[in-house]
Amino acid sequence: MDILALVKQYCKNHRNETHARIASLILEENPKVEYSHRHIRRLVSEERKPKASVSQDITPEQACYTYKGEEPIHSLEEALKYFQVDLSKWEVSRYTCNSWEAQTKQGPVTMHQVKMHLDKKKEEIDLTEVIDDLRETLDGFQINRGPGSNTAVLALSDFHIGAKVEAMGNTPVFDVKTVISRLQEVATQVNQKQYEDVYVCLLGDFIESFTGLNHQSTWHELEEKGHGTNVIILAYNIIRRFLTSLDNVAGVYIVSGNHDRVTMKMEGDPYGSVAGLLAFMLQENTPLDIRHNAVLLGVEIDSIYYILTHNHLGVSKGDLGKAFWEHGQQGVYNVMLGGHWHSRKGKRVYTTIDEKQVDQANYRQLAVAPLFTGNFYSESNGWNSSAGYTVIVNNGQGKPNVFEYVLS
C-alpha cells in the first residue's frame, strides 16, 4: 500500500488521535515505511484538511446539487439559499442533510453534507388569463369578406380542449395553447388560398372531459380547472376567435363527439350536450349560419352532399351503402365526413367487373386528422397521429378534390 493510501486509512481508523500520534502509529506498525515522522505528519494534516466540494448536475427536466464542507447548512431552506435555486422553476423531490466531527490540525471541526434533487416545475397555464386574452378579439363579431374564388369545405375534428399532455415517446406536448396555435395556423393557411366561400365542418370532441372522469385516470392529464363550465367557456372563446380569423366564412356545421358529454359515461348523455351548447352560443353571438346535430348532419355545399358525423356511432360503422341511401342525397356525389379515429382514413366502394376494379361509387367516407395528438392511453397502445385538417373543393365535375394538411 502506498503512503497516501496508508495515511488515509489511519486517519479514518483513528479519527480522535492527533496528527503526531497517527504518524507514530504508521511508523510503529509499518516498519517498511521509509518516510520521516515529520513528512508523515504533514501528509496526515493534508488528509484531514476540510475539503469543500460542490457539484451541480442539471438537465432540462431535473437537477441534482451536492455540497460537502464546513459551511453550516442545517435545513432545506438554507440549502436552497446556498445554491440560489429559483423555486418558480424548480421543486424539490428529495433532500438529505447531515453533519459529523472531523479532526484537523487546529482541532475538531463540524463538516456538513447536503444532497438535493429537483424536478422542473410543469408550466401551469392560467385559463382565466387565456380566456380574457381571447375575449379581447370577440367584441363585435364580423365576417371577414375578401376577394376569392371557389368554394371550400374545411373539416376539423377532435380538439380535446382542456387536455394537458406531457411529451412521451412519439406523443408531443399538448395543451390549450397548442390548440390555439394550431387553429391560427389553419386560418392562415386557408386564408392564403383565397376561397370565395368557406364552410366549416366541426366534427366533435371539442373538449377532453366535462367531469374530469371520463376514465379513472382522465384527471391526470387535464389543465388545472380545465373541466366543467370552465372548459365550455374556454372552448367557445377559442372556436369563436378562430372563426373571426377566417376569411369568407359562409356556414358552420357541428356534430357532437363522445367526449362532448356532460356525464362520466356515454349512457348518461349520448347527445354530447357540450357540442349542442357551443352551437347555441355561437348561434346567439355571431351572424353565421350555425347548424348542429348530435348524431348526423346533412348539408349540400357546392353541388356535393356532405354527411357529417363524429364516427363513434353505428351509422358510420355499418353498411355504408345503406347509410348513404338513407341519409344521403341521390343524384349528386355524397361524402361522409367524420373524426374520432385520430387518423386519416378513407373508404371507397368498388365493383369488380372482369377482374378490373372500376370506381362506380358516387359516395365516399373520409376521416379527418385530429388537432389532438394523443395522451398516455394512446401512447401505451401504440396509437400515434399527427395533427391536421382537410379541405374539399368541387373539381368542376361534381366530384370532390380532397386536400389533407399536416400541422406543426
pLDDT tens column, 226-284:
889 899 999 999 999 999 999 999 999 999 999 999 998 888 898 999 999 999 999 98
For the cut 60, the answer to whether the pLDDT of residue 173 exceeds it is: yes
Ramachandran quadrant class, 267 (left: phi over 0; alpha: psi -120 to 50; beta: rest): alpha
Mean pLDDT, residues 152-168 taken together? 94
Count Cα neighbours of 354 within 13 Å in the Cβ-side half-sphere. Answer: 0
Mean pLDDT, residues 127-153 taken together? 74
**127-406: CATH class:** alpha beta
Mean pLDDT, residues 165-194 taken together? 94
Percentage of residues in the chain having pLDDT higher than 70: 88
Q: Return mean pLDDT, the chain.
A: 86
DSSP lists the bridge partners of residue 295 as: none
By residue count, the chain amounts to 408
For the cut 70, the answer to whether the pLDDT of residue 71 exceeds it is: yes
C-alpha to C-alpha distance for 54 and 52, rounded to whole angstroms: 7
**Highest mean pLDDT of the ranges 87-96, 120-129, 191-200:** 191-200
For the cut 70, the answer to whether the pLDDT of residue 106 exceeds it is: no
Radius of gyration of the chain from Cα atoms?
A: 34
H or E stretch covering 356: strand 356-358
C-alpha to C-alpha distance for 150 and 195, rounded to whole angstroms: 5
For the cut 50, the answer to whether the pLDDT of residue 349 exceeds it is: no
Nearest residue to 273 via CA among 257, 288, 284:
257
pLDDT higher at 11 or 154: 154
Q: How far is CA 271 from CA 205, 215, 231, 267, 292, in A?
A: 12, 19, 18, 9, 11
pLDDT at 354: 38
pLDDT confidence tier of residue 133, bands split at 50, 70 and 90: low
**Poorest-pLDDT segment among 56-70, 212-226, 324-338:** 212-226
Name residue, grid cell 378579439.
137
pLDDT at 123: 65
For the cut 70, the answer to whether the pLDDT of residue 378 exceeds it is: yes
Nearest residue to 174 via CA among 380, 383, 386, 375:
375
Kindly list the domain boundaries of the chain, sorted by start residue.
3-48, 53-120, 127-406
pLDDT at 385: 83
Count Cα neighbours of 98 within 13 Å in the Cβ-side half-sphere. Answer: 3
Residue 285 is placed in which grid cell? 353571438
Name residue, grid cell 441534482.
64
Q: How far is CA 98 from CA 81, 110, 146, 316, in A?
A: 17, 10, 72, 66
Mean pLDDT, residues 43-65 taken together? 82
Percentage of residues in the chain having pLDDT higher than 90: 44
For the cut 50, the answer to whether the pLDDT of residue 347 exceeds it is: no
DSSP letters of 80-145? HHHHT--TTTEEEEEEEEEEEEEEETTEEEEEEEEEEEEEEPPPPP-HHHHHHHHHTTTSS---B-
For the cut 90, the answer to whether the pLDDT of residue 183 exceeds it is: yes
Residue 30 is placed in which grid cell? 509499518
**Poorest-pLDDT segment among 65-69, 104-108, 388-392:** 104-108
pLDDT tens column, 380-389:
887 778 999 9
Q: How far is CA 379 from CA 168, 171, 172, 383, 384, in A?
A: 8, 6, 10, 6, 7
For the cut 50, the answer to whether the pLDDT of residue 348 exceeds it is: no
pLDDT at 140: 62
pLDDT at 49: 72
For the cut 80, the answer to whether the pLDDT of residue 318 exceeds it is: no
pLDDT at 131: 66
Mean pLDDT, residues 180-187 taken together? 96
392 neighbors 400 (Cβ within 8 angstroms): yes
